[in-house]
C-alpha cells in the first residue's frame, strides 16, 4: 500500500491512455520528461508572442490539431504578410476564413514537446504494468484486508444503527419459533419519526403449536408492515445484527419467502394475478418446515369465489403439508372458519375503531378475527366524494345478506339520491 501510495496521484484519471496517474517524485526521469514537455509548451507560447510582435498581427495564434500538429494560424486578410519568401513561414493549409503556416523554430519546439510527451506516456505505461503485477502478486493479502475491512464496516454500521434505534440482541435457537416482543419496522419507524409520529410496536409468537397466524383487519391498518417487520427481524438476527424489538427469540430460518404487494410483468405476458400465482407456486414447491413465509392478500386478483378458494387451499397447504412458520394476511373473513379445524392456526387482527363516522386506525395487533375490513371507511379516508360513498354504504348490507345483488335490481348509481340530485341539476343547466 505504501508503494502504491507513493506511485499514484491521489485521484488518478479515468482514461489511463492520456497519462497523469504517476505521482511527481516517484521517477526522476519521468519528471524530467514532463518538465521538458512543459518547458516546450511555454517556449511555444513565448514564440507565439514573438511572432505577433514581428508580424504586427495581433490575432496570430499557434494552435494544435491531430492532422497538422502545431501550426501558426492567421485570418485570411493577414495571410499575404506571411506568404512572402523572406517571411520565414511555410504555407500549410488554406480554409474559408483562416490560413495556416509552419516555421522552422515552431517545428523544432513542437518536435521536442511531442517527443517528450510520448516518452512520458511510455514511461507511465511501464510503471502501470509494474504496479499491476505488484498488485496481482499481493492478491491474497489484498483480499484478506478487504474482507476484514468489510466485516468491521458491517459490524460498526450494525452497532451504530442498534444504538440509534434502541435495538436489542436476539436469542438465536434451533427451535422452530419466532418470538418477538415490541417488534418494529425500522424504515417505517424512521419515516414516522421525521414527521413527529410514533411507531406502534407489536408482539409476535410463532411456535410448533401456533405456527400459522391468520391476520385480518382494515386496509392501512398495518398488516403488511407487521408481516414485513417480522421477516426483517429474522433476517437481521441471522446476519449477526441486533434487531428492532424489545426482545426476540429467533429459530433458524433456512428460507424466507415473501408474497406481498401487487406488480405485473407485462413484457413477459404476466398479469398482476399471474405474478402472484407464480410466486405462490414457488413457495408451495420450495418451502420447508424450517422456512418463514409471509403472505399478503392471496387470491385478490381474480373473482371473489375463485380467490377465496385459492386462499383457502393455500392456508390448508401451509398448515397440513409444509408446516412452516407463516403469517397470512387476508380480507377473506371466511378463512377464519379454518381455526376450528386447523390446530396450529390462530386468529389475529389489526385494531380499528369508528368514531363519529370516521375510521381510527390503531395499528395494534390483537387476538381474534376482525369483524369487517372497513373498506368503505378507508375509501372515505382516501378522499372519495361524499355522494359516491352513499351508494356502497346502501348496497353493502343487502349484498352481505343476499350474497349477491338481485338480478332484477336497478344499477346502484341510479338509486343513489345524491347522484339523482346531481343529474337533475345538470339537466336544468342543459335546458337553460
CA nearest neighbour of 58 among 70, 71, 75, 41 = 75
Band of the pLDDT at 393, cuts 50, 70, 90? low
- Exposure string of 378-400, with b = 16+ CB inside 10 Å and e = fewer, is bbbeeeeeeeebbbeeeeeeeee
Q: How many CB atoms neighbour CB 115 within 10 A? A: 14
Band of the pLDDT at 402, cuts 50, 70, 90? low
DSSP helix/strand/coil, 293:
strand
pLDDT tens-digit series, residues 17-40:
778 878 888 888 887 877 777 777
pTM: 0.67
Q: What is the CATH number of domain 2-137?
A: 1.10.1420.10
Residues 226, 350 contacting (CB under 8 angstroms) = yes
Question: Range(s) for CATH 1.10.1420.10 in the chain?
Answer: 2-137
Q: Which of 281-285, 412-416, 421-425 has the highest mean pLDDT?
A: 281-285
CA nearest neighbour of 214 among 280, 304, 311, 292 = 311
CA distance 253 to 249: 12
pLDDT tens-digit series, residues 328-378:
999 999 999 999 999 999 999 999 888 877 788 899 999 999 988 877 777
Question: Range(s) for CATH 3.40.50.300 in the chain?
Answer: 168-381
CA distance 348 to 368: 5
Tell me how far the alpha carbon of residue 97 is from its chain's centroid: 54
Find the mean pLDDT for residues 81-102. 89
CA nearest neighbour of 250 among 187, 205, 203, 283 = 205
Residues 6+ apart with CB under 8 A from 201: 182, 183, 184, 245, 246
Q: What is the CATH number of domain 168-381?
A: 3.40.50.300
Angle between helices 417-431 and 386-402 (to 10 degrees): 140
The burial of 249, by beta-carbon neighbours within 10 Å (0-12 exposed, 13-18 middle, 19 or more buried), is given as middle
Res 398: pLDDT: 56
Share of the chain above pLDDT 70, in %: 89
Band of the pLDDT at 417, cuts 50, 70, 90? low
Res 201: pLDDT: 96
Q: Is residue 427 predicted with pLDDT exceeding 80? A: no
Band of the pLDDT at 47, cuts 50, 70, 90? confident
Find the mean pLDDT for residues 89-100. 90
Amino acid at each position: 500500500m505504501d508503494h502504491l501510495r507513493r506511485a499514484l496521484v491521489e485521484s488518478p484519471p479515468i482514461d489511463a491512455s492520456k497519462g497523469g496517474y504517476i505521482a511527481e517524485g516517484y521517477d526522476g526521469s519521468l519528471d524530467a520528461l514532463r518538465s521538458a514537455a512543459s518547458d516546450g509548451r511555454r517556449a511555444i507560447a513565448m514564440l507565439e508572442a514573438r511572432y505577433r510582435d514581428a508580424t504586427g498581427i495581433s490575432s496570430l495564434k499557434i494552435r494544435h490539431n491531430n492532422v497538422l500538429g502545431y501550426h501558426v494560424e492567421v485570418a485570411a486578410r493577414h495571410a499575404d504578410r506571411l506568404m512572402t519568401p523572406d517571411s520565414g513561414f511555410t504555407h500549410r493549409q488554406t480554409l474559408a476564413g483562416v490560413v495556416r503556416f509552419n516555421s522552422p523554430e515552431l517545428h523544432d519546439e513542437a518536435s521536442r514537446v511531442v517527443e517528450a510527451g510520448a516518452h512520458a506516456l511510455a514511461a507511465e505505461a511501464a510503471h502501470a504494468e509494474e504496479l499491476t503485477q505488484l498488485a496481482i502478486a499481493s492478491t491474497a493479502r489484498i483480499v484478506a484486508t478487504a474482507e476484514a475491512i468489510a466485516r468491521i464496516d458491517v459490524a460498526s454500521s450494525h452497532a451504530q444503527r442498534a444504538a440509534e434505534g434502541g435495538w436489542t440482541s436476539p436469542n438465536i435457537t434451533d427451535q422452530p419459533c419466532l418470538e418477538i416482543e415490541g417488534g418494529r419496522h425500522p424504515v417505517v419507524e424512521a419515516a414516522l419519526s421525521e414527521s413527529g409520529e410514533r411507531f406502534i410496536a407489536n408482539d409476535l409468537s410463532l411456535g410448533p403449536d401456533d405456527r400459522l397466524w391468520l391476520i385480518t383487519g382494515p386496509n392501512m391498518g398495518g398488516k403488511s408492515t407487521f408481516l414485513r417487520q417480522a421477516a426483517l427481524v429474522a433476517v437481521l438476527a441471522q446476519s449477526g445484527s441486533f434487531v428492532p424489538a424489545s426482545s426476540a427469540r429467533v429459530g433458524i430460518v433456512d428460507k424466507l419467502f415473501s408474497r406481498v404487494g401487487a406488480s405485473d410483468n407485462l413484457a413477459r405476458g404476466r398479469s398482476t394475478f399471474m405474478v402472484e400465482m407464480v410466486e405462490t407456486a414457488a413457495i408451495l414447491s420450495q418451502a420447508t418446515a424450517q422456512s418463514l413465509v409471509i403472505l399478503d392478500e392471496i387470491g385478490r386478483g381474480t373473482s371473489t369465489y375463485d380467490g377465496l378458494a385459492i386462499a383457502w387451499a393455500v392456508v390448508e397447504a401451509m398448515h397440513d403439508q409444509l408446516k412452516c412458520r407463516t403469517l397470512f394476511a387476508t380480507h377473506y373473513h371466511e378463512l377464519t372458519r379454518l381455526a376450528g379445524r386447523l390446530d396450529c392456526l390462530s386468529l389475529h387482527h389489526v385494531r380499528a375503531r369508528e368514531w363519529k363516522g370516521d375510521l381510527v386506525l390503531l395499528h395494534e395487533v390483537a387476538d381474534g378475527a376482525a369483524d369487517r375490513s372497513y373498506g368503505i371507511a378507508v375509501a372515505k379516508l382516501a378522499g372519495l366524494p361524499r355522494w359516491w360513498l352513499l351508494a356502497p354504504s346502501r348496497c353493502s348490507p343487502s349484498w352481505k345478506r343476499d350474497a349477491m345483488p338481485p338480478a332484477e335490481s336497478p344499477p346502484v348509481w341510479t338509486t343513489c339520491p345524491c347522484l339523482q340530485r346531481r343529474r337533475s341539476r345538470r339537466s336544468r343547466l342543459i335546458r337553460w
